[in-house]
Amino acid sequence: MRPRPTRSTRLQRRRHRAAALGLVGLTLMVAAFVGRPSRGAQLNIRSQDVRVLPVPKVPEMPKALAVTTSRIDVKPPRPRRVRRVWRQLPAPVHLSIPAIGSSSHMIPLAQNADGTIQTPSNTVETGWFTPGPGPGELGAALIVGHVDSYRGPGVFFHLRALRRGDAVNVTLANGHKLRFLVTGSKDVSKSQFPAKLVFARTTVPTLRLITCGGTFDRSTGHYLNNYIVFARLAGQA
């Protein structure tokens, strides 16, 4: 015969059952909360695209190397016959890349005597290759900028942080703004620069943003690689 529970025993059992039910309820609430994203998370999902870029760490370089630092050394392929590029749009005057906080005045760049593309004389401006198409014109427009110098980061220091779909905005001399979207990127050795790919004809207006990258060779004052970003016209900005 089982002993009859006393009043204190019955009270203790009730407290244990209440505690157990409370724990189950709390577990269900936590599971429901974790399993279903909050409205705030859905509304702020775009904040995931915000980039927190590291503080640039630029190695110290001898001042004697400053004039040659970040030389692009891009040489267009030799054409079978010279074709004149007819200007379709006003010249570009400003480049803006919001995703990496880059904003620069644009200057025209010609070709050096050795066949390579000229580069801006400073690290805060970008330049476009004038013998080729301009931004927004049919074909591939080349835009060149420095990655850094002995003084610090250049206008294209964070070019590697760009992702597919990021915007590249170009302002023309007449005030019109063109919006390009990044489609890809490529890290190449300067000794094996893909000139045919970069200068290839395109059926739509495209951009090639070019800067230096890879290892810095102190003996020559040049980087060993080039970094190229490809973009395609999406419309007006």
What is the tens place of the pLDDT at every residue in 159-181?
999 999 999 999 999 999 999 99
Task: Write down the pLDDT at residue 74.
Answer: 73
Answer yes or no: is pLDDT of 50 > 60. no
The per-residue pLDDT for 78 is: 64
The pLDDT-based confidence of 230 (bands split at 50, 70, 90) is very high
E strands, 57-176, in order: 92-97, 102-109, 126-129, 139-144, 148-149, 152-153, 167-172
pLDDT grade for 120, boundaries at 50, 70 and 90 = very high
Q: Looking at residue 217, what is its pLDDT?
A: 87
Classify residue 77 by its DSSP letter: P
What percent of the chain is modeled with pLDDT above 90? 44
Instruction: Give yes or no for residue 24 having a pLDDT over 70.
Output: no
Which pLDDT score, from 0 to 100, does residue 53 have?
A: 53
Average pLDDT, integer, range 48-68: 45
Residues 6+ apart with CB under 8 A from 186: 194, 197, 227, 228, 230
Q: What is the dihedral of CA 192, 193, 199, 204, to 10 degrees?
A: 110
81-91 mean pLDDT: 65
Q: How far apart are CA 52 and CA 100, in angstroms?
A: 9
- The mean-pLDDT minimum among 58-62, 104-108, 188-192 falls in 58-62
Share of the chain above pLDDT 70, in %: 65
pLDDT at position 14 over 90:
no
